Amino acid sequence: MNQNEQAGRWDGPWYRVRTRHFEASFLPSADEDPEAVDNVDVFVDLPDGTRWSATVITLAQVATLMERWATTGEALGGSYFWCSDGLIVRDAGISNMTRVLVGLAEAGDLTHILQRVDE
């Protein structure tokens, strides 16, 4: 954990992480280990009061879904993956996902990539 992050904490169904850039509220499954999460919705609250969202999913989980859909016939037999507010990351775990979000915030890209939900 670096100076931009603090340890996450459970708050009901939410797993919240506060950084110097934002507070992120992840919604993993109740029995899911936060460091094994590979597909999760997140809401990001910025200091200016705006709220942003994304579905953060690992590349490996996208591949798993596409392979499953190849047999079920969904998404044209697994030939594509799409979600409206998707952010694909390499590594699983809320701490890894938070690092990506911090990097996006520091680069000024967070509000270009995530979807604004408070308008």
Confidence of residue 7 (pLDDT cuts 50, 70, 90): confident
User: Span 68-76, mean pLDDT?
Assistant: 97
Confidence of residue 119 (pLDDT cuts 50, 70, 90): confident
What residue segments make up the domains of the chain, in order of their start?
A: 9-116
- Is the pLDDT at 1 greater than 50? The verdict is no
Neighbours of 34 (CB within 10 A): 18
Q: Which amino acid is at 108?
A: G
Tell me the two tokens of residue 100: 């990506």
Report the chain's mean pLDDT, rounded to a whole number.
Answer: 94
What 3-state DSSP class applies to 99? helix
| Tens-place pLDDT, residues 43-59 | 999 999 999 999 999 99
| pLDDT for res 3 | 47
| Tens-place pLDDT, residues 30-46 | 889 999 999 999 999 99
The C-alpha atoms of residue 81 and residue 66 are separated, in whole angstroms, by: 7
The C-alpha atoms of residue 91 and residue 60 are separated, in whole angstroms, by: 8
Q: Which amino acid is at 86?
A: G
What 3-state DSSP class applies to 117? coil
- The dihedrals phi and psi of 36, each to the nearest 5 degrees, come to -115, 0
Q: What angle do CA 112, 115, 75 make, to 5 degrees?
A: 110
Q: What percent of the chain has pLDDT over 90?
A: 89
